Amino acid sequence: MIKRIAELPEFDDDPDVPTDRTRVGDLSFSLGRLLRPFLLPLLLGLLLVALDAVAQIAVPSLVRVGVDRGVARGAGGTLLLAAAAAGIVVLIGWGISVAQVRVTGRTGERLLYTLRVKTYAQLQRLGLDYYERELGGRIMTRMTTDVDALSNFLQTGLATAVVSVLTVLGVLVALLAIDAGLALVLVAVLPVLVVATMVFRSKSVPAYTEARERISIVNAYLQENVAGIRVTQAFRRERYNSVEFARRARAFRDSRLRAQRYMAIYFPFVEFLSAVSTGLVLMIGSRQVLAGTLTTGTLIAFVLYIELFFSPVQQMSQAFDGYQQAAVGMSRLRSLMRTPTMTPAASHPLPVRGVRGRIEFDGVSFAYHAGDQEALRGIDLCIDAGETVALVGQTGAGKSTVVKLLARFYDPTSGAVRVDGRDIRDLDLAGYRSRLGLVPQESHLFGVTVRDAVAYGRPDATDAEVEAAARAVGAHDVVARLPLGYLQPIGEHGRNLSAGQRQLLALARAELVDPDILLLDEATASLDLATEESVRLATDALTRQRTTLVVAHRLTTAARADRVVVLDGGRIVEVGAHEELLEAGGHYRRLWDAFVGAVPRSKSVQLERAT
């Protein structure tokens, strides 16, 4: 069998899901809207499930016929006919089960694919505010545990539940049709079963909800510690973090065990009811058989039907575990999908094919959260196309916030940010951002190799274009010294490279997209003096053709800009060229004196030469 499985051709079936439509935001997301495109295969699956239930219910009736009309009367032909009919029903049921598994399995995989694409697209659509308040582990739980729980239930649990419900109803109808008096024995047990099920649900639902929340906490803590393992080891936090992780894992275990205890009470109780019902039917039915008011075949059929009745009840109870996990997962996915983005697309976005680069902040104020102190207040600033402007100020002055608003990671609380005279909120967001080149202070690289990292913004770039971008920012010589050059593995987020190498690749990544507006968050802060000088020359060449906004922590960077904007407490307090601001003796002069006084004498000479 293993050999034959290995010889099977590779499966390359098309999920037949319109990806573009799946990626669209859906603030009215619900299970019904998710299932709507799969209505026909779902109905086919339910039909097959119903036929499977009918096949199961038909067998005891055929057994009754075989016993009463064949065995009891000595009619061998009738017995063989009933046995043959039962065999045919079993074979048909087997075929139906195979078809049902194939249909529901493929539909479930298509649903899983759709849900993953929709969830990922929503996560890509949400603004920075969502990621600043949500833990990474919680987000990963939604993409993995929650999606898988819903998919598993739709693929297997739902079919099991439907078969069970139809089987229970079918058995009740069959019992009432065969002998209504004897069927009352089973009907008398139903209220006890219903009450027990309601109590089980009332106790288990909170336990499942709590367990799902606690596994999110476990995942979040795990991801945080794996990402910061160097800091953990440097501060000798291994033992403390292990204890903390064990505490969170223990809380998750306790909530799961509580749910399992409820199941351990409920499932045996259902078994007990099944045994009691069978015993009552045998006791009452045997007396009726002896009295001649009930046939032996009918009694055997009744016993088979009772087993057929309680077996689906147990299956429904087991499927309830999957249902609870799926319900909690669906609730959390619904909450995610209905989370509005803080940077919504315009109703009729203006296309962006290129920008000249004139930037205008018109009375811009911004607060990260409603009710918080404003990070920017009344910002009025105009930057001409091709101009290089440096933003300086103390920590928390609002420098990075200006860059975030220009990149439209956030929208202003009041006022407007305009590019080429157009409010960026009216522009096509993807098209607008494609004209930006961003180099953050902490470079975050993607991909497997150096080439992948540089080509991240343009995956279709040729090797020659990637190398040209690296040469333009002075990164080629650094890459050439790596053992495998552009094929050198960079590790997760570039951890196999030094901070300077990562920053050079981030500069090359920005250069490759050929942006019209360049945003530099102190791109040379992590470089040594020699590398900084080569990058400075390359950066100067790049900025001559582009509007550039620089967040300058090193004031030597500000000194080379066309203009310097000094921020303090979220306001612009000074604007002018480097020399003008030094002569003015204001905020910038004090920042410069503090900067120069904080460096060694040898570097002070270099600063004077640089400026």
- DSSP letters, 478-530, are HHHTSTTGGG-B--GGGTTS-HHHHHHHHHHHHHHT--SEEEEESTTTTS-HH
> Which one-letter DSSP state was computed for residue 351?
P
The predicted model gives 94-123 an average pLDDT of 83
CATH superfamily of 444-514: P-loop containing nucleotide triphosphate hydrolases (3.40.50.300)
**Environment class of 10 (CB within 10 Å of its CB; exposed 0-12, middle 13-18, buried 19+):** exposed
Q: Would the pTM of this model clear 0.85, i.e. be above it?
A: no
* Alpha-carbon dihedral sign for residues 142, 144, 145, 148: positive
Q: Is the pLDDT of residue 52 over 90?
A: no
CATH superfamily of 23-337: ABC transporter type 1, transmembrane domain (1.20.1560.10)
pLDDT tens-digit readout, 329-388: 788 888 888 888 888 888 889 998 888 889 999 999 999 887 788 899 999 999 999 899
Contacts (Cβ under 8 Å, ≥6 apart) of 174: 57, 60, 61, 305
The predicted model gives 409-420 an average pLDDT of 92
**Environment class of 264 (CB within 10 Å of its CB; exposed 0-12, middle 13-18, buried 19+):** exposed
Domains of the chain by residue range: 23-337, 444-514
Neighbours of 242 (CB within 10 A): 11
Q: Which helix (H) or strand (E) holds 367?
A: none
- SS3 for 217-259 is HHHHHHHHHHHCHHHHHHCCCHHHHHHHHHHHHHHHHHHHHHH
Q: What is the DSSP string of 8-59?
A: SPPP-------HHHHHS--TT--HHHHHGGGHHHHHHHHHHHHHHHHHHHHH
pLDDT tens-digit readout, 497-530: 887 788 888 888 888 988 899 998 876 665 666 6
Dist. CA 75–CA 611, nearest whole Å:
113
pLDDT value of position 366: 93
pLDDT tens-digit readout, 536-578: 766 676 676 789 999 988 788 888 888 999 999 899 999 999 9
Question: Terminal CA-to-CA distance of the chain, rounded, Å?
Answer: 77
Q: How many residues does the chain have?
A: 611
Dist. CA 188–CA 194, nearest whole Å:
11
